[in-house]
Amino acid sequence: MLYNLHTHKFSNHPGCLELVNQYPQEFDVSIPLYSIGIHPWYIVADRVEDDLAVIEEKIQTSNCLAVGECGLDKRIEIPFSLQEQVFRKQLALAQKYQKPVVIHCVASFQELIAIRNDVKITVPMIIHGFSKNEQLARQLLENGFYLSFGKYLLRNPELESVFKNVPDNRFFLETDTIEETIEEVYAVASKYKGKNPEDLQGIVEQNFKNVFKK
């Protein structure tokens, strides 16, 4: 079984468990397993409470495995204070219903770590689409985050050394919005980790079971 931690496109791929990203205002009931959250790009100030109500309703179903993607992004025009407020509210829901969180974070990692420590959240938090250096990876791991790799693992050879040094029990693989398949991501990950594909599949499967209790 392959596990795709984060995708925006449900492929109904046989032999693959896909955690499909859903938005409160564009909910598709036909998707079997999903995360749901308010992405910082799509925060609408006067709709936040309605969106949070949808999230709280869906999060209580067994099909909802996680809150997200949600997070912080300093490269957009949405006020950072509003982003932080919306993010904290989603973390509170994740903690209340004991669901992991899939994180979007751009140029805001120190703020992210500070918020995690401030709210003392105990549910797993996964940085999706990780693309940064080894120093930041180590800092995030030391603060309890998991790291998910996809697009940048395929496209940035410098990420090989970063990925190699992430402990086997702390990473996931994903496709997000790329055209490449999850098999292609697994193939590169296997090569970088120096493991045969079956062993790598077993590692990711165990991580998924540990985090999502599935």
List the 171-173 sheet strands across, edge first: 2-7, 16-22, 34-36, 64-73, 101-106, 125-127, 146-149, 171-173
The answer to whether the annotation marks 180 as part of a ligand binding site is no
- The mean of the pLDDT values for the chain is 97
User: Per CATH, the architecture of 2-212 is what?
Assistant: Alpha-Beta Barrel (3.20)
Q: What pLDDT is stored for residue 192 in this prediction? A: 98
Residue 39 marked ligand-binding: no
Report domain extents, the chain: 2-212
- % of the chain residues with pLDDT over 70: 100
Task: Give the pLDDT confidence score for residue 27 in this predicted structure.
Answer: 96
3-state secondary structure 89-118: HHHHHHHHHCCCEEEEEECCHHHHHHHHHH
Pairwise CA distance, residues 121 & 165, whole Å = 25
- 77 annotated as a binding-site residue: no
pLDDT for residue 42:
98
d(CA 120, CA 87): 14
Residue 13 confidence (pLDDT)? 85
Of all residues in the chain, what percent carry a pLDDT higher than 90?
98
Q: Is 49 annotated as a binding residue?
A: no
The predicted structure's pLDDT at residue 12: 87
Q: 23 is written with which tokens?
A: 């938005």
Is residue 214 over pLDDT 90?
no
Q: What is the mean pLDDT of residues 164-169?
A: 98
pLDDT average, residue stretch 130-147: 98
- With a cut of 90, say whether residue 117 has pLDDT above it: yes
Q: What is the pLDDT of residues 30-89, one digit of tens each?
A: 999 999 999 999 999 999 999 999 999 999 999 999 999 999 999 999 999 999 999 999
Which pLDDT band holds residue 183 (cuts at 50, 70, 90)? very high
Please check whether residue 55 is in contact with residue 38, taking contact to mean a CB–CB distance below 8 angstroms.
Answer: yes
